[in-house]
Chain A
């Protein structure tokens, strides 16, 4: 099987695109696939930080483009999943426009055809300008990340429209930061409704979970942190099952909204109800 080149995009910023890329990339690597993560947000480097690899970055994509180093030497290896997870950092000092489209496409193709990557995830910057176009150019599939807010969904729809220009027909949707209890209450749009409105297949649901911030603080993927703590989390399950559906599109969708059971029992539940039922 030829390696799959997937752009992760959203339109709107701040919806958790980079967090998603880092966590799902890690999950794919842990499942035994050879994964390359490319930080497409030139000028605003973040993917290395989320993975806790920021101190290991020596070269970046600009060094490869200008011929200062080879691609294989510019890749940062994640030693937690040796031989499986690699990061191509972006430049912090250059601008997106400094990267020619053709050079970027060549690097991605080289990674797939000569280095044997199974998955190449390109983390697109927010917006629909050159940075997005650059990230989308070499991609054959797209994952659109959004959150259950109409502004984010509207921007996601804009991006989906633009993907037509790149001939990217294989698209799927991830709804991030879903407050399951609030969806149940009817206060938040459900992932299924969002998928229907956008007419894009729902790939995964990531519940709102405080472990995501903690994992970012520590520079660890969620599934690493939850293993350390010996306690499964909703976000961890979301990332893992999304990775499973990327590998096999026939894998079942994990729907935490359907599974949700309100926590009413116990003294804690009593107090939560007393406080206006805002318990999460």
Chain B
């Protein structure tokens, strides 16, 4: 993610909230629930599929993992679309 984008993304967010999000992802990796490798190949697969239909700039993909409740995590990918193919 470009630095200016992460600045923009985090604008207005409290420092503790940023820490919480970063920590959450770190702990998921550490516990082996979602490895960095898995996440990366998931990204690649998504790009591959979506590229069939849309113009995508892979460098701009962002993801977010949030705890929904005790049992579930939600992963969201934000994929900026340039145009329809």
Contacts and interface: CB of A to CB of B under 8 A. Distances in A.
Interface stretch (B11-19, B45-53, B76-84): B11-19
Contacts, number: 40
A196 B24 CA distance: 10
B36 interface: no
A193 interface: yes
Interface stretch (B1-9, B26-34, B57-65): B26-34
A183 interface: yes
Interface residues of B, number: 14
A75 B16 CA distance: 44
B44 interface: no
A197 B16 contact: no
A186 B30 contact: no
Interface of B: 14-17, 19-20, 22-24, 26-27, 30-31, 67
18 contacts: A150-B19, A150-B22, A154-B23, A154-B30, A157-B30, A161-B31, A185-B14, A186-B14, A187-B15, A188-B15, A188-B16, A189-B19, A190-B16, A193-B16, A196-B67, A197-B20, A197-B23, A198-B27
Interface of A: 150, 153-154, 157-158, 161, 183, 185-190, 193, 196-198
